[in-house]
Amino acid sequence: KQWYQRRVAITAGDVDSNVFFMKQTVGNACGTVAIIHSLLNNVDRIDVGEELKTFRQDCAGKSADERAKMLETNSQIAGKHAEAASCGQTVAPSAEERVNLHFVALVSVGGTL
């Protein structure tokens, strides 16, 4: 984990400003964060709806940490996350439970992965 944190800190300054990225600070929300990354890095190709458009606009100029804090307090996205988590075929773990399975998103922005 320490290696990853150092690597992110080193490369964070090299990220294209057109890339939408935020840290995941909400427990067991990796799928939601992956979907948000996928959608908000493709707003030129996908109609993401007003809620996500507004969220992206509100996040403009913010750091990955600040964007994570904004997600933590966004009741609209939290509601959609809770709704989706309760519709699965298995019981979703609590936000506090530590899990070893995660979703990630790889996106291409400006021709770079």
Q: Could you tell me if 71 and 77 are in contact, meaning their C-beta atoms sit under 8 angstroms apart?
A: yes
The tokens for 24 are 């995941």
User: Looking at the annotation, which residues are catalytic?
Assistant: 30, 102
Q: How many alpha carbons lie under 13 Å from residue 27 in its C-beta half-sphere?
A: 8
Number of H helices, E strands in the chain: 5, 0
Amino acid at 23: K
